[in-house]
Structure 1
């Protein structure tokens, strides 16, 4: 439901299982750990990576998937409530993955469900499985998390990925930087949570102010769909663009991450830089979601 439910011991266990999944996929591709199990992918918002990632995770574990990616064609369009949809789907599935535009929707679903529910994003609230794969990416790429400086760049107001990652990072000895236009700054609620955990954090409007000290640069797109009108979006959409000139000022061992999709915030030529970790980040997400499915279904 939320990254707040995890401690470091939990993360160590999830990461260990994810590394086992990575090894098994690379050796044999698919296996029958979840044979006979069914996942319902219930997405009220558009999704490419998260939806495909959970589908791939379930099928590589030998299970099956009921894909519901176009909710407008389902009974929801007839006015069915979320609890009724969840209770209906669990008659057919063993686990439900839910993405919904309203904050708190996953908690409501879990309240009424008898089967496991995994939060795949609730509005501008949280995206806990993304935060887990992000943290796993940092661990795999950098070899550690303690002692790092993580800089989050872009739309920090609407970016549920950075909300969840910031909260998860409080379990480690890190420093967090925020770089955004003032109108897209990290919500005060998240800032206060980080402060309560005594994690150093600093806000900037220019990336050059903290790029040189950054070990991880986490880039987010400006989310057009979250803006009330076109003019508000146009005013900030091109605030930051990461190019090869940007990386020339960065540490050699730094990594660049992005939850994707990108629009124009990272230039294509950056893809060839070994520090560009965002596609490797997507692959790590497969192993994390395989681990979570196996864990919630009691197979690990």
Structure 2
């Protein structure tokens, strides 16, 4: 394998098709190794330290990154809420925090409340910085595991029609996934959202630039029979500055068992989680449901990224 060319991972646009293939092939190796007892990569990152720097709450992303590092033989230093339990509470800048942590760790995994923060941190960091979500900006590692789930489910990503449903304006996961889907031929995207949560124009312009057809639809029931993947998202109350706008958006799209049965038999349901009520728990037993498997795939993708970045 040739050297991995990226030093940092802060946005989905950094990945071309070749890099996506490399990450997913490496994730396949990690998945197979764990299924076989995890012997091959158990000491791969021995003596390496990951700093887990989360300024916003997280369950899946933080735990899967920390589990990934531990399963590769590395160690972690972590803070659960850096806004309150780090020097950020004293007013320390992200610039200073990044420079300081460079002396303690070999890689920084960072979640921050401001869009663009990971790229800013990367610009002053001598060690790799991985964006674990930056406000309403991007979540590139989530998009990678989403892509991996699509490939695992269908064998091929080209030609798929993906319906993105819910909070598309503030949804960093669907923004990042939209960028990655432009790397495959014949893909289509349908944006389904309340008017106050429509996908931003920068993503639509990017899709136009790469010739990826997209549509907007308010009626979820119209889209369900046509989509290969229905990607549900929660309405993110914490992103709304105007409470009335949140109330206009929440609860409009709920995927019930009856709606799930309206989908194609081979179609799948995804969700970055956590969910509120946008997918009924009764849907969990539907064979189309892939969101728990999707979350597990985060471990393999993040193991692959850590190994690739720290073995450049």
When the two structures are superposed, what TM-score results if normalisation uses the length of structure 1?
0.98
- Give the total of aligned pairs: 299
Following superposition, the deviation at residue 232 of structure 1 comes to 2.3
Unaligned runs of 5+ in 2: 1-9
Following superposition, the deviation at residue 74 of structure 1 comes to 1.2
Following superposition, the deviation at residue 70 of structure 1 comes to 1.6
**1:160 equivalent among 169, 172, 180:** 172
Deviations 1:193-252 (A, max 9, x none): 111111010000111222111001100000010111433212211010001110121100
* In the alignment, structure 1 residue 35 sits paired with structure 2 residue 43: no
* Aligned equivalents of 2:288, 2:241: Cα separation in 1: 35
**2:115 equivalent among 92, 96, 103:** 103
Match of 1:227 in 2: 240
Deviations 1:273-296 (A, max 9, x none): 111000000111100000000000
Match of 1:11 in 2: 20
Following superposition, the deviation at residue 186 of structure 1 comes to 0.4
SS at match of 1:40: strand
| Aligned residue runs from structure 1 range 1-300, under 5 A | 1-29=10-38, 31-71=42-82, 72-173=84-185, 174-298=187-311
* Aligned equivalents of 1:103, 1:70: Cα separation in 2: 18
**What is the root-mean-square deviation of aligned Cα atoms in Å?**
1.0
* Aligned equivalents of 2:277, 2:300: Cα separation in 1: 28
Following superposition, the deviation at residue 111 of structure 1 comes to 0.7
* Aligned equivalents of 1:74, 1:211: Cα separation in 2: 45
* Aligned equivalents of 1:233, 1:213: Cα separation in 2: 28
Deviations 1:149-202 (A, max 9, x none): 011000000000000001100011201100001110000111111111110100
When the two structures are superposed, what TM-score results if normalisation uses the length of structure 2?
0.94
* Aligned equivalents of 1:235, 1:119: Cα separation in 2: 31
* Aligned equivalents of 2:221, 2:277: Cα separation in 1: 19
Deviations 1:40-65 (A, max 9, x none): 00001111110001000000001111
* Aligned equivalents of 2:243, 2:80: Cα separation in 1: 26
Unaligned runs of 5+ in 1: none
Deviations 1:112-165 (A, max 9, x none): 100000011111111000000000000001111011101100000000000000
